[in-house]
């Protein structure tokens, strides 16, 4: 016979919050027993961490994730949010042609946030960092009316030059590594109150950036590269402007998965729009002076002309090219 247990008392719930264990209790909770990579010379616990920089240079980036803007706790589990926060930064490191080495995490949240929520966030951060051989080496905790995660990633170029957005030249091919459109389709499904198809919803909750493709592209002579975080057309626009060149994307080169076609029909959305403008998959887009390496797909070409991103030779007429926090 099933046993019915009474709900936890208000006192018990209060004991399981950040207010009960305090800042340093939380730090102990999320750092105890964690294993650091060899690049971490000194991890959490001191005024600052010490991370090895093999060639004397450090690649660094920061992203801020705000509850209700970048994630929802009723859509994603805390560990999924932690993984997503880490992935957004680790993909930026890979987009420079570098290898991630460490994460620094700033956390701001209400005092009544459950400890299990924060522990789940930490589990996700550590898991995603560990998947690329990086460590979580430090951070800070502060009180806030809203849950906010600020993640800084560090990386090593391993003796290579950084691949920036500014090197694309007419005649280069444009190529893509990783998937696009899935996270946008997952958001569309969740926004309509559904929780399936599972694979598409999972893509919104936890991206799968092709981390290894960044250093691979750098070794293969990529002239420019970017993390596709706000939308393929929007992010290629950054490359176009930085490089002073025009980019023409071939829509026929973007394979639309059957699952996205099915969802598009159900929701009345052209799935190509998700591929062209959807963000948060954290694919990598790069330009190459010749054929791209294995695992990359040619999707367009760099041409002469005023900076712009075209689709099949024309400006995209299907709506905004991607996400902008301050433009609606």
Residues making up the annotated binding site for Mg(2+) are 47, 62-63, 92, 140, 227, 230
Which of 313, 297, 289 lies closest to 169 in space, CA to CA?
289
Q: Cα separation of 228 and 278, whole Å?
A: 9
Q: Cα separation of 189 and 259, whole Å?
A: 12
Residue 239 backbone phi and psi in degrees, to 5? -65, -45
Angle made by CA atoms 204, 222, 57, in degrees to the nearest 5: 85
Q: Are 59 and 103 in contact (CB under 8 A)?
A: no
Q: Are 210 and 178 in contact (CB under 8 A)?
A: yes
Q: Cα separation of 188 and 22, whole Å?
A: 38
CB atoms within 10 A of CB 16: 15
Residue 52, C-beta contacts closer than 8 angstroms, at least 6 positions apart: 38, 39, 40, 41, 101, 156
Residues making up the annotated binding site are 47, 62-63, 70, 92, 139-140, 165, 227, 229-230, 280, 323
Token digits of residue 40: 């971490």
Residues making up the annotated binding site for ATP are 139-140, 165, 229
Token digits of residue 192: 């309509």
Token digits of residue 223: 């002239």
User: If you search the block for the tokens 């994307």, which residue do you land on?
Assistant: 249
Alpha carbon of residue 290 to chain centroid: 28
What's the half-sphere exposure (Cβ side, CA atoms, 13 Å) at 235? Answer: 29
Q: Give kind and range of the element (H or E) at residue 273.
A: helix 271-277
Q: Cα separation of 256 and 251, whole Å?
A: 10
Residue 61 backbone phi and psi in degrees, to 5? -155, 160
Residues making up the annotated binding site for substrate are 70, 280, 323
Angle made by CA atoms 279, 148, 100, in degrees to the nearest 5: 60
């Amino acid at each position: 016979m099933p046993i019915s247990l009474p709900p936890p008392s208000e006192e018990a719930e209060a004991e399981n919050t950040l207010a009960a264990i305090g800042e340093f209790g939380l730090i102990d909770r999320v750092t105890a027993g964690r294993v650091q990579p060899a690049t971490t010379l000194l991890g959490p616990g001191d005024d600052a961490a010490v991370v090895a920089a093999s060639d004397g240079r450090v690649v660094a980036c920061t992203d801020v994730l705000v509850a209700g803007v970048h994630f929802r706790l009723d859509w994603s589990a805390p560990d999924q949010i932690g993984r997503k926060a880490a992935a957004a930064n680790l993909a930026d490191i890979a987009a420079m042609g570098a290898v991630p080495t460490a994460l620094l995490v700033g956390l701001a949240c209400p005092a009544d946030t459950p400890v299990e929520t924060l522990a789940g966030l930490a589990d996700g951060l550590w898991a995603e960092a560990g998947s690329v051989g990086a460590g979580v080496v430090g951070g800070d905790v502060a009180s806030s009316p809203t849950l906010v995660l600020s993640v800084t990633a560090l990386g090593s170029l391993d003796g290579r030059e950084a691949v920036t957005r500014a090197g694309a030249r007419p005649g280069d091919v444009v190529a893509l590594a990783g998937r696009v459109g899935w996270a946008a389709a997952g958001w569309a499904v969740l926004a309509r109150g559904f929780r399936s198809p599972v694979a598409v919803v999972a893509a919104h909750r936890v991206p799968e950036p092709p981390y290894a493709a960044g250093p691979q592209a750098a070794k293969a002579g990529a002239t420019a590269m970017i993390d596709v975080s706000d939308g393929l057309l929007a992010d290629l626009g950054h490359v176009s402007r930085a490089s002073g060149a025009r980019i023409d994307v071939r829509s026929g080169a973007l394979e639309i998965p059957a699952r996205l076609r099915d969802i598009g029909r159900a929701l009345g959305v052209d799935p190509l729009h998700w591929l062209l403008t959807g963000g948060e998959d954290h694919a990598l887009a790069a330009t190459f002076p010749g054929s791209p390496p294995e695992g990359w797909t040619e999707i367009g070409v760099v041409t002469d002309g005023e900076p712009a991103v075209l689709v099949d030779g024309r400006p995209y007429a299907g709506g905004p090219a991607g996400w902008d926090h301050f433009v609606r």
